[in-house]
Amino acid sequence: MRALGLMSGTSADGIDAVLVEFRGNPAKPKWKILNTVSYEYPSSTRDKIIKVGQGLKINSKDWLNLAEEITELNAAAARACDPDSTAEVVGCHGQTVFHRSAKNSQRGGSLQILLGPLLAKILDQIVIYDFRSKDIASGGQGAPLVALVDESLVGRLYGWRGILNLGGISNLTIIPPKTGIDKTSECLGWDCGPANSLIDLAIQESTTISSNFDHDGLLASLGRPKLDIIDKWLKEPFFHLEPPRSTGREKFGALDLQNRKQELGDLSTEDLLSTLTTFTASIIAQDLDNLFKMKKIRLIELLVAGGGTKNLFLMRQLQKRCRGVHIRPIHEIGIPSQFREALVFATLSWWHLLGKKVNPRFITGANKNMLYGVRVEP
């Protein structure tokens, strides 16, 4: 079966589309990527998404216009990736603008902008969308959903294997070994904290840089990180919450960046970017250290995906701080780094058509097996 996956993450830079052929056992499928497309948002659309996510109040007419615009952009990305409409199903995540973590007695919440029925009508194809609501209604965090699928796509090794996504937010998937006493263990997953979100915002706030991100991490590599401040930040309560754990731009966005900049004082752009990038790597290293302290799990390999893999300074910091772990980009095992999440939503949409339910308990915290997404016909 062919499925098309569409994904736009917290970086809000555009839509990743992937056309995939699936066959065989859904739990361990054979799959082949047939085409990929990266479809950039117009700068005006990206600005609106980020501002709304940061709390900009807009009227109902503007909400509708934005929803229609995002839906039409997803349709354009789908047609660019699969011009002959060969996919039997389209799995579309939509654009997250707000995510509220579940904690104590407060229910979680997550808002993705997408008009699913309109997308199905435009494409004249079955669309699966709204992947998070059912999970949240069942007591889960609604994230990270990629961890529900990772094991099926990448498989197990003879030791614990990790997958790290470096998007706007970083998240980890922890996959048990194929043999030994731990082979009956469950997959784990959680959001770590900011990956590119604070770095990109710092770049965009700079009056001397025209780019939206730090190319290759070059500017960060020219600076000196404030390690004492990073050590203080790592003690913040969020980074010590036990999984399941989720977050988004509402926590690690523009206001958070301003507070951190104020604490850092008068720094050069290079020193600021070096500090924020080292902070991202340090959060992940701390999570892996805590994983060993609490569960005696030590990874033998960490596969890295997402836009952050292009930040060479960030990748070097990960190598430096995650000692004893073999770190390599996920494209080395055949998954294009930028399209991993789109591949996940193609898989979830395929599973939805097959009626395959997923156990999210150790990843999102939801309390029952469920079929992810809502199906709409054209």
CATH number for the domain that contains residue 44: 3.30.420.40
Peptide bond into 144 cis (omega under 30): yes
DSSP string, 335-350: --GGGHHHHHHHHHHH
Beta strand extents in the chain (DSSP E only):
2-8, 14-23, 30-40, 89-100, 109-113, 127-129, 160-166, 169-175, 188-194, 299-305, 326-329, 374-376
Q: How far apart are CA 41 and CA 269, in angstroms?
A: 26
Q: How many domains does the chain have?
A: 2
Strands 30-40 and 160-166: unpaired
Same domain, 354 and 267: no
Q: Please, what is the angle between helix 269-295 and helix 197-205, to 10°?
A: 170
Q: What are the CA-CA distances from residue 133 to residues 119, 175, 192 (Å)?
A: 19, 25, 21
Which residues does residue 370 pair with via DSSP β-bridges, in sequence order? 358
Q: How far apart are CA 82 and CA 193, in angstroms?
A: 34
Strands 30-40 and 2-8: unpaired
Same domain, 106 and 155: no
Copy the structure tokens of residue 65: 């216009």
Q: Given 316, 333, 350, which residue is the final one in a domain?
A: 333
Q: How far apart are CA 356 and CA 188, in angstroms?
A: 19
Averages of pLDDT over each 10 residues, the chain, 378 residues: 94 93 96 97 92 87 96 98 98 93 81 97 98 95 94 96 96 97 96 96 83 92 98 97 91 95 96 98 98 96 95 98 96 94 97 97 94 97
Q: What are the CA-CA distances from residue 303 to residues 325, 336, 339, 365 (Å)?
A: 10, 12, 14, 24
Same domain, 317 and 356: no
- Sign of the alpha-carbon torsion through 74, 311, 334, 160: negative
3-class state of residue 173 by DSSP: strand
DSSP string, 160-215: EEEEEEESSEEEEEEE--SSSTTTTPPPEEEEEEESSHHHHHHHHH-SS--SSS-G
pLDDT score for 50:
87
Same domain, 160 and 304: yes
Same domain, 171 and 268: yes
Same domain, 231 and 328: yes
Same domain, 353 and 251: no
Q: How far apart are CA 145 and CA 346, in angstroms?
A: 12
Please answer whether residues 344 and 123 qualify as being in contact, where contact means their C-beta atoms are separated by less than 8 angstroms: no
Q: How far apart are CA 161 and CA 151, in angstroms?
A: 9
Q: How far apart are CA 311 and CA 72, in angstroms?
A: 31
Helix or strand holding residue 264 (H, E)? helix 254-264
pLDDT score for 207:
64
Same domain, 284 and 370: no
Same domain, 350 and 291: no
DSSP 363: T
**Boundaries of domain holding 124:** 2-141+339-376
Please answer whether residues 360 and 184 qualify as being in contact, where contact means their C-beta atoms are separated by less than 8 angstroms: no
3-class state of residue 330 by DSSP: helix
CB atoms within 10 A of CB 200: 24
Copy the structure tokens of residue 217: 């991490």
Q: How far apart are CA 114 and CA 92, in angstroms?
A: 8
Which amino acid appears at position 346 of this protein? Answer: A
Q: What are the CA-CA distances from residue 296 to residues 42, 188, 272, 293 (Å)?
A: 46, 13, 35, 6
Please answer whether residues 258 and 61 qualify as being in contact, where contact means their C-beta atoms are separated by less than 8 angstroms: no
Which residues does residue 129 pair with via DSSP β-bridges, in sequence order? 374
pLDDT score for 209:
76
Q: How far apart are CA 205 and CA 254, in angstroms?
A: 10
Same domain, 150 and 137: no
Same domain, 272 and 363: no
Query: Which residue, 157, 159, 187, 183, is CA-closest to 173?
Result: 187
pTM recorded for the entire structure: 0.93
Same domain, 107 and 207: no
